[in-house]
């Protein structure tokens, strides 16, 4: 093993430092020089610069912290800093590497590490700049392979691999260059800064990480673990299930299409247990005018958000916040807000989009180095949030970071993008869900909750030859390309954010996808455990299509539940351009999706459980083992999981006048439990601070966390069923530091009053509540017929129908009295410690 290696691993050899370098020039416009020094810790002089290198070595991995200082008497433009190693001592000769793309849609898949390097881009610098941090590679990179943000390179039969990358957080763009050199591999990481430093001025750079090991996928997972931790990744959002307008209606979407689907989703809640309804491109007056609608949405956005929310969903809105077209208001009012092209002669074109700009297709880009632009963005998103949208799909984000002439040239491109994302976050608050799309990945870590990790899906497998654009075919909408990136980037899920694999299209009508292809998309989405958003015209779905949506939702949720969503491993990552699938394991549970992205039949195998399947072209197979629960616990919230009853206490304090008479009406059977809720709580004017204060005073029932732990340890599904409200449950989970799945009603604050919507009403049941607990138990039983269902509750209103549908009931208070008077069996309990003890006894029988 090489003695001077900074990272070593018994089988995988060592990484020997080769060079430290910087590209610099006298100013931004001047040609750059590549200066070199030794890659060693300390202060290293490179031309007029002093590079500060600190190295933390941990055996098989190392972290570099870097700073660059202008040690000269004149300003220096720093284009980039680079670090290089030679990977040797592993005995392998034939390598493949992961070419990882710059932004969501850019090509990500494995390729052979041949001697030619990345082929020259065939379609010009501007187009290359849409998918690469650099619109042209430096000439000395000829013969090198290029990957963005990170890469892993490995040799399969030898089982050796090396990962390298930048732990970006919006300071620089990281690039990884690789090339074979005899039996060794040269690996260089380059940090693109593009900033002028005054004499004596210094800049800190995002950290660089390198690691060696036997398994390329494990290396990527550890790399992303460290990246997420260093950059404060937001990985804790609940599983996102939703519906989106785009992949059925595209630009043609109108208010009626949306409302029809909201209604269909509301009435089919049990078939499609989703939370988010997201309106995509097509509603806005012009690109850039996000608060005004076109004539397909004649009433504006407010009624749309209202309709989505009263149907019980979170309202989601698509925007492309950093781009504008000439007909938009910001463009007309503030030409100075726009980025100019790199030469400074004309405006920068962020993309060509004839649907957005029928005149010449050109779309311009806001200059986020300007404070007034940042303020404009913040105001826009404050208004979107105030309209009631709490899920934000932020699209075409790369445009903000394209090479351009900006108002402040020394705000690096990654920082421009970061400033824009931060403005949106400030505006929408901590609890709204931000989804990055068309986004350079590293710069968004720590700000977005979700990230599109592949190109657009399409209702067809490949890209039709006449529309192929040379150099970016792999980024153009196609299900094949989406599947490739979704499988290859699976390791990022819940390490950097929640992965958004793009939408499921389950329809068998109105699509060019074969049944196998639609199922392969579903297997890739479900098997990787990312977000599940489907995009079909709901009333048009056949029973079989609906089953595919439901099954995929279930699969994705299950996989996301394994090892905190971090159990997924890509299969065959470095073997073919399209990986062979994914597998997720925890304890006795295994979920795998075996995928054939090729155009001919292949065999795919799994070791544990031993499975070998022959898959025809574009087909897939989902394998589930050890996933069937034997037991599932459904627990009421108010008065059961919680000591207090939030709803009835609020009613007592804030609707004291109306409460007795409405309760009498309920007792006489004139109104249902949900109608009682509407009478008492809907439009209640209690200030949010009062509600927050009240929630600060409630307590968990003794044993509540133990019950959750007991279930988690035994992989027993645990679910809160509550006729209370999501907002309160969310707040209390945060306050108590506990996490659980729940089905409940919706609550939001709008125009100074509280509004409510039912979660899972069931007119077929006599309970009349917003969440029919019997309905939830029966739905679970249909899908898991072998499981024993446990219900824990205290009330005779919402808990009774659930208790009657369960195999084992823990009851207290009025539920116990009611069951006793009916002669129904139950176990009495005082607190949730008793329930844990009772469950132990039940299992021991």
Residues that bind ligand 9PG (CB under 6 A): 105, 246, 280-281, 318, 351, 353, 395, 437-438, 456
Q: Which is nearer to ligand 9PG, 463 or 816 (CB)?
A: 463
Q: Which is nearer to ligand 9PG, 243 or 810 (CB)?
A: 243
The CB-of-593 to ligand 9PG minimum distance in angstroms stands at 22
The CB-of-731 to ligand 9PG minimum distance in angstroms stands at 31
Q: Which of 87, 4, 82 is nearest to 44 (CA)?
A: 82
| Catalytic one of 79, 449, 456, 536 | 456
The CB-of-185 to ligand 9PG minimum distance in angstroms stands at 34
Q: Which is nearer to ligand 9PG, 481 or 640 (CB)?
A: 481
The CB-of-457 to ligand 9PG minimum distance in angstroms stands at 8
The CB-of-502 to ligand 9PG minimum distance in angstroms stands at 6
Name the phi and psi angles at 9, rounded to 5. Answer: -150, 135
| Long-range contacts, stretch 585-588, CB < 8 angstroms, 24+ apart | 586/562, 586/715, 587/626, 587/715, 588/625, 588/626, 588/715
Q: Which is nearer to ligand 9PG, 351 or 772 (CB)?
A: 351
The CB-of-778 to ligand 9PG minimum distance in angstroms stands at 36
DSSP 261-292: HHHHHHHTTTTS---EEEE-TT-BSSTT-TTS
Q: Which is nearer to ligand 9PG, 24 or 105 (CB)?
A: 105
Rounded to whole angstroms, the maximal C-alpha distance in the chain is 92
The CB-of-127 to ligand 9PG minimum distance in angstroms stands at 10
**Inter-residue contact 491 to 220 (CB < 8 Å):** yes
Q: Provide the 8-state DSSP code for 455.
A: P
Q: Give me 829's structure tokens.
A: 């309990």
Separation in Å, CA 116 to CA 88, 153, 185, 766, 799? 20, 16, 14, 72, 68
Q: Give me 143's structure tokens.
A: 């013969």
Q: Which of 277, 205, 170, 175 is nearest to 49 (CA)?
A: 205
Separation in Å, CA 737 to CA 26, 236, 732, 836? 54, 12, 8, 20
As a whole number of angstroms, the distance between CA 722 and CA 98 comes to 46
**Inter-residue contact 286 to 328 (CB < 8 Å):** yes
Q: Which is nearer to ligand 9PG, 228 or 403 (CB)?
A: 403
The CB-of-505 to ligand 9PG minimum distance in angstroms stands at 12
Q: Is 360 a catalytic residue?
A: no
As a whole number of angstroms, the distance between CA 706 and CA 712 comes to 10
Q: Which is nearer to ligand 9PG, 318 or 780 (CB)?
A: 318
Burial classification of residue 845, based on how many CB atoms lie within 10 Å of its CB (0-12 exposed, 13-18 middle, 19 or more buried): exposed
Q: Give me 832's structure tokens.
A: 């949730």
| Catalytic one of 275, 367, 395, 502 | 395
Checking DSSP bridges between strand 61-70 and strand 76-88, what pairing results, if any?
unpaired
Q: Which is nearer to ligand 9PG, 278 or 672 (CB)?
A: 278
**Inter-residue contact 621 to 603 (CB < 8 Å):** no
Q: Which of 119, 141, 148 is nearest to 186 (CA)?
A: 141
What are the residue ranges of helices labelled H in 635-745? 646-654, 659-667, 673-681, 688-696, 704-713, 726-736
Instruction: Give the up-direction half-sphere exposure of residue 196: CA atoms within 13 A in the CB hemisphere.
Output: 12
Q: Which of 597, 594, 618, 575 is nearest to 111 (CA)?
A: 575
Q: Which of 549, 475, 480 is nearest to 512 (CA)?
A: 480
Separation in Å, CA 809 to CA 633, 715, 741, 789? 10, 20, 20, 9
The CB-of-768 to ligand 9PG minimum distance in angstroms stands at 40
As a whole number of angstroms, the distance between CA 325 and CA 498 comes to 31
Q: Which is nearer to ligand 9PG, 46 or 394 (CB)?
A: 394
Q: Which is nearer to ligand 9PG, 95 or 391 (CB)?
A: 391
The CB-of-244 to ligand 9PG minimum distance in angstroms stands at 8
Q: Give me 366's structure tokens.
A: 């806001």
Checking DSSP bridges between strand 631-635 and strand 718-725, what pairing results, if any?
parallel
- Mapped onto helix, strand or coil, the DSSP state of residue 44 is strand
Q: Which of 686, 702, 697 is nearest to 650 (CA)?
A: 686
**Inter-residue contact 103 to 153 (CB < 8 Å):** no
Q: Give me 209's structure tokens.
A: 């990480």
Tell me, rounded to whole angstroms, the distance of Cα 339 from its chain centroid.
29
Q: Give me 198's structure tokens.
A: 């005054």
Q: Is 395 a catalytic residue?
A: yes
The CB-of-278 to ligand 9PG minimum distance in angstroms stands at 9
As a whole number of angstroms, the distance between CA 440 and CA 438 comes to 7
- Mapped onto helix, strand or coil, the DSSP state of residue 475 is helix
Q: Which is nearer to ligand 9PG, 395 or 536 (CB)?
A: 395
Q: Nearest to ligand 9PG by Cβ — which residue? A: 281
Q: Which is nearer to ligand 9PG, 280 or 743 (CB)?
A: 280
Q: Give me 517's structure tokens.
A: 């292809």
Q: Residue 585: enclosing H or E segment and its boundaries?
A: strand 581-586
The CB-of-353 to ligand 9PG minimum distance in angstroms stands at 5
Q: Which is nearer to ligand 9PG, 349 or 370 (CB)?
A: 349
The CB-of-415 to ligand 9PG minimum distance in angstroms stands at 24
Q: Which of 615, 68, 84, 541 is nearest to 271 (CA)?
A: 541
Q: What angle do CA 630, 632, 633 make, to 5 degrees?
A: 150
Residues pairing with 595 in the sheet: 620
Catalytic residues: 395, 456
């Amino acid at each position: 093993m090489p003695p001077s290696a900074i990272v070593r691993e018994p089988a995988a050899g060592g990484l020997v430092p080769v060079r430290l370098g910087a590209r610099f020039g006298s100013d931004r416009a001047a040609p750059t020089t590549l200066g070199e020094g030794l890659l060693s810790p300390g202060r290293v002089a490179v031309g007029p610069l002093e590079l500060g290198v600190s190295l933390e070595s941990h055996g098989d991995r190392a972290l570099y912290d870097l700073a660059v200082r202008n040690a000269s008497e004149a300003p220096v433009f720093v284009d980039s800093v680079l670090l290089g190693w030679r990977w040797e001592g592993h005995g392998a000769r034939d390598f493949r590497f992961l070419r990882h793309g710059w932004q969501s849609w850019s090509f990500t898949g494995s390729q052979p590490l041949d001697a030619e390097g990345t082929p020259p881009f065939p379609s010009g610098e501007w187009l290359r700049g849409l998918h690469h941090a650099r619109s042209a590679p430096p000439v000395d990179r000829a013969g090198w392979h290029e990957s963005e943000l990170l890469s892993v390179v490995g040799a399969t039969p030898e089982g050796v691999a090396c990962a390298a990358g930048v732990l970006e957080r919006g300071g620089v763009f990281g690039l990884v260059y690789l090339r074979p050199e005899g039996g060794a591999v040269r690996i260089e990481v380059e940090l693109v800064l593009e900033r002028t430093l005054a004499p004596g001025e210094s800049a800190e750079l995002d950290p660089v990480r390198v690691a060696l090991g036997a398994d390329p996928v494990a290396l990527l997972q550890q790399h992303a673990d460290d990246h997420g931790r260093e950059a404060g990744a937001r990985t804790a959002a609940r599983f996102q299930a939703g519906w989106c307008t785009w992949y059925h209606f595209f630009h043609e979407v109108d208010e009626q299409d949306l409302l029809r689907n909201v209604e269909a989703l509301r009435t089919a809640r049990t078939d499609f247990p989703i939370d988010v309804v997201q309106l995509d491109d097509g509603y806005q007056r012009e690109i850039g005018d996000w608060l005004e609608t076109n004539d397909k949405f004649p009433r504006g956005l407010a009624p749309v958000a209202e309709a989505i929310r009263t149907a019980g969903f979170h309202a989601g809105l698509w925007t492309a916040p950093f781009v504008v077209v000439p007909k938009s208001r910001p463009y007309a009012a503030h030409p100075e807000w726009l980025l100019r092209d790199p030469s400074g002669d004309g405006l920068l074109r962020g993309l060509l989009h004839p649907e957005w700009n029928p005149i010449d297709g050109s779309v311009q880009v806001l200059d986020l180095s300007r404070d007034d632009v940042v303020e404009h963005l913040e105001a826009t998103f404050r208004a979107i949030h105030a309209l009631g949208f709490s899920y934000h799909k932020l699209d075409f984000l790369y445009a903000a970071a394209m090479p351009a002439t900006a108002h402040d040239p020394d705000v690096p491109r990654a920082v421009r993008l970061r400033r824009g994302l931060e403005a949106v976050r400030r505006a929408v608050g901590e609890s709204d869900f931000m989804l990055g799309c068309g986004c350079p990945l590293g710069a968004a870590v720590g700000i977005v909750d979700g990230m599109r990790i592949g190109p657009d899906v399409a209702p067809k497998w490949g890209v039709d030859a006449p529309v192929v654009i040379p150099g970016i075919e792999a980024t153009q909408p196609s299900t094949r390309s989406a599947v490739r990136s979704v499988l290859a980037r699976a390791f990022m899920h819940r390490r950097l954010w929640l992965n958004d694999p793009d939408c499921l299209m389950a329809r068998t009508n109105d699509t060019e996808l074969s049944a196998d292809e639609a199922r392969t998309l579903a297997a890739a989405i479900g098997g990787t455990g990312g977000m599940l958003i489907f995009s079909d015209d709901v009333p048009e779905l056949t029973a079989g299509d609906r089953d595919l949506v439901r099954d995929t939702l279930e699969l994705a949720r299950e996989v996301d539940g394994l090892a905190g969503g971090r159990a997924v491993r890509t299969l065959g990552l470095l073997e073919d351009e399209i990986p062979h699938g994914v597998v997720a394991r925890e304890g006795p549970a295994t979920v795998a999706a075996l995928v054939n992205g090729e155009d001919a039949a292949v065999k795919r195998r799994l070791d544990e459980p031993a499975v070998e399947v022959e898959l025809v072209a574009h087909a897939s197979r989902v394998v589930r083992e050890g996933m069937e629960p034997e037991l599932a616990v459904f627990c009421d919230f108010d008065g059961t999981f919680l000591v207090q009853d939030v709803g009835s206490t609020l009613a007592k304090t804030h609707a004291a006048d109306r409460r007795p008479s409405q309760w009498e009406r309920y007792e006489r059977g004139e109104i249902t439990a949900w109608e009682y809720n509407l009478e008492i709580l809907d439009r209640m004017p209690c200030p949010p601070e009062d509600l927050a204060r009240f929630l600060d005073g409630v307590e968990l029932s003794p044993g509540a966390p133990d019950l959750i732990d007991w279930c988690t340890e035994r992989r027993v599904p645990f679910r809160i069923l509550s006729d209370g409200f999501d907002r309160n449950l969310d707040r209390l989970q945060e306050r108590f530091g506990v996490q659980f799945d729940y089905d409940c009603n919706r609550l939001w604050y709008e125009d100074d009053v509280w509004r409510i919507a039912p979660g899972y009403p069931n007119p077929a049941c006599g309970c009349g509540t917003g969440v029919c607990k019997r309905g939830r138990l029966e739905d679970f039983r249909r899908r898991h017929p072998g499981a024993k269902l446990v219900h824990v509750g205290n009330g005779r209103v919402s808990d009774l129908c659930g208790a009657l549908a369960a195999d084992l009931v823990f009851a207290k208070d009025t539920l116990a009295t009611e069951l006793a008077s009916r002669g129904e069996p139950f176990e009495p309990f005082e607190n949730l410690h008793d329930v844990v003890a009772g469950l132990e006894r039940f299992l021991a029988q």
